[in-house]
Structure 1
Amino acid sequence: MKMSDLAKIAGVSKSTVSRALANSELVTEETRTRIKALAKEHGYRMDARARNFRKRETLTIGVLVPMPSNSQGEPPATNPFVLEMLGALADELEKKGHELLFAKHSNRDPSWLREFVETRSVDGVIILGQNIYHDILNEIALDYPNLVVWGARMPEQNYITVGSDNYLGGKLVAEHLLQQGCKQLTFLGNTTCPESMQRFAGFKDTVETLVPDTELNVIDCRENHNDGGYRLVSEYVQANKPMDGLFAASDLLANRAIQALRSCQIKVPSDVRIVGYDNISSSEFMTPALTSINQNCRIAAQKLVDKVFARINGKQAESELIPTALIIRESTGVN
């Protein structure tokens, strides 16, 4: 059956049928209900592809996870935080009647980002993590407004970001570890990526301000595979370097650090107190339960989706920080 046939049966125009089946408020609820009932009775289904073509919509949002090989220490796509974020984004997009098109790239050449934006049929793009791509994102945003990034707010930034207050997160960790009596602090992560760089800055500045003579070391982890943190922490301990408090730039790295310390017969938290970042859902079930900085994926996904749809609809949108809080658990000696 064609739409014109259904329109004749309903005694209305084709445009009224189209609007009614699309739940347009330009058609009364009574008429919408009657036309939908007739469509069901006669087995009519709207050709979504044709409708989307006419409206120039794909009803799809591209979600990209940039992960250049041998790269800057950003978490792989299998990181629980990334997976939780993808699930939350899928839920939010479903509410908008859109689907999620997921893409992960291990290419260090930033041109793939521009190629994706210019060649893929999507209504907008959400990128999870800036990684090494800040400059190309700045260029793309000048020509492609429907772009929102989960990440750190950077100076002279053209694109919109949603993220936690990474500097504040590092500050909260430093204050907590110092309050627990730690005097030999270590940061585990990559100090050159935007998010972890800001986390380290907040951690370092706070330690140096509150207790200037506190020893502060860095385990520079730029490997993006799961065993990188484990190996580096093991090597650090085997080199007899002192440590009684450790701040890991992600919960994934914190978990690897706990495993490495356990293999070296070092106990958490009695020997070393550990704090992670992300507060993934499994953090409270780790052994010991992990103290972590909370990044609420549900709030983050809602903000990311709302902002990309604002841009799709030609509206203004601003970068935004989501609430940042320290969730204290057993890994820092607090029950």
Structure 2
Amino acid sequence: MREKKITIRDIAERSGVSRATVSRYLNGGHWVSGEAAARIGRIIDETGYVANESARSLATGRSNCIAFLLGEPQELLFADANFSTLLRSIADELGRKGMSLIMMTTDSAAESQRNMRFLRAGHVDGVLLVAWHYGARKGLIRALHAQDMPVVVAEYPATEARATSYVHVDDYQGAAEATRYLAARGARRIAMIAGPKGPSGSLDRVRGYTDALAELRQGPLLVERGDYSKPSGRVCAARLLDRDPSIDGLFAASDAMAIGAIQALRDLGRDVPSDVQVVGFDDQQLAQISEPPLTTMRQPFQEIGRRMVDQLIDLIRGGAPVGTTLPLELVVRGSTR
């Protein structure tokens, strides 16, 4: 005999709440008490209830689906661990809210146009836009606004800032703190391996380093730009040491570049941290297992993902754009004294 399908009415009865309360829980949890949400969630887990998304879409006019739009070449999704870390955080948060995720990339102008046609067709309710290496393609944010598509950007948007919801970390203060920490640990000639020009986060990290050195009355400025990868960190470190062999402190704008720099320093006969102290940025898993373990500025990726999802859901429901800036945390390990 065919098993009876569990309905929203069944969940409401077993949870001791109204169907409207269950419906609010399934649509993001607004106006549902913590106690009621816990009961509903437990009953859903016990019964294996799955919402009828087709019926819900017809009733609400929404797809209950969100796009994660990587505004950069697809290979960077796999080359830069930060993308996959944030994507996992976002997917987990959407899963908790019963929403689906579509992954989209923009390898070319033609693909960007196809993406915009797909979004205009109403397949998703909103977009989470990430473009850390080169910044979002010119006009992409404006194009999303033009079709009234709710969007949250994982970076301070250089354009359309007032009209755009965003979540980012305090790159300026993070870079300044890393530079000051190197000085406090005795470094007197501090260099920086920066990220590519373009994204606001990359620019802010250079400003933080520059202003901290001015505050410390140290100089000269010693900056080489990489692409956030380990090989670029290795190349940049070798260039910096060639420019100034007296460098005894190095701040890299990503963990991968910091670890590449440590490899270059080892090749040049420099010990880390005895000869040169190194601080990274991100706190990826590789920072914990590097040799020596890497002192770094930790990005709160779980919180970034949660805030992006919450702000996007609020936009979908008619809320106003919100800008969120999150602090970083200095994690001290063996690459500094």
Taking structure 2 as the reference length, the TM-score comes to 0.78
Return the alpha-carbon distance in structure 2 between the equivalents of residues 214 and 27 of structure 1: 64
Return the alpha-carbon distance in structure 2 between the equivalents of residues 219 and 254 of structure 1: 12
1:25 matched residue in structure 2: 18
Cα distance, 1:179–1:148 mapped onto 2, change above 3 Å: same
Return the alpha-carbon distance in structure 2 between the equivalents of residues 50 and 68 of structure 1: 36
Q: CA shift at 1:284, angstroms?
A: 2.3
Other structure's SS at 1:332 match: coil
Other structure's SS at 1:329 match: coil
State the percentage of identical aligned residues.
25
Q: CA shift at 1:76, angstroms?
A: 4.6
Superposed CA deviations along residues 276-316 of structure 1, whole A, max 9, x for unmatched, are: 11112332222111111111111111101100100111122
Cα distance, 1:201–1:271 mapped onto 2, change above 3 Å: same
Structure ID, larger Rg: 1
1:99 alignment partner AA = S
1:160 alignment partner AA = S
Aligned length: 305
State how 1:139-218 maps to structure 2 within 5 Å: 139=142, 140-152=144-156, 154=158, 157=161, 158-189=163-194, 190-211=196-217, 213-218=218-223
Q: Say whether the 8 Å CA contact 1:20–1:27 is kept in structure 2.
A: no
Cα distance, 1:220–1:241 mapped onto 2, change above 3 Å: farther
Could you say what the CA RMSD is over the residues aligned between the two structures, in angstroms? 3.4
2:136 alignment partner AA = Y
Other structure's SS at 2:285 match: coil
1:103 matched residue in structure 2: 104
1:89 matched residue in structure 2: 90
Other structure's SS at 2:221 match: strand
Gaps of 5+ in 2: 23-39
Q: CA shift at 1:143, angstroms?
A: 3.5
Q: CA shift at 1:251, angstroms?
A: 1.1
Other structure's SS at 1:209 match: helix
Return the alpha-carbon distance in structure 2 between the equivalents of residues 89 and 69 of structure 1: 18
Q: CA shift at 1:25, angstroms?
A: 3.1
Superposed CA deviations along residues 3-56 of structure 1, whole A, max 9, x for unmatched, are: xxx99xxxxxxxxx9752686934699xxx9xx9xxx9xxx9875334424432
State how 1:36-47 maps to structure 2 within 5 Å: none
Q: Say whether the 8 Å CA contact 1:153–1:319 is kept in structure 2.
A: no
1:163 alignment partner AA = H
2:235 matched residue in structure 1: 231
User: Please, which of 55, 59, 64 is the counterpart of residue 60 of structure 2?
Assistant: 55
State how 1:59-70 maps to structure 2 within 5 Å: 59-68=64-73
Q: Say whether the 8 Å CA contact 1:89–1:302 is kept in structure 2.
A: yes
2:315 matched residue in structure 1: 311
2:35 matched residue in structure 1: none
Which 10-residue stretch deviates more, 20-29 or 302-311? 20-29
Return the alpha-carbon distance in structure 1 between the equivalents of residues 296 and 176 of structure 2: 13
Cα distance, 1:311–1:325 mapped onto 2, change above 3 Å: same
2:139 matched residue in structure 1: 136
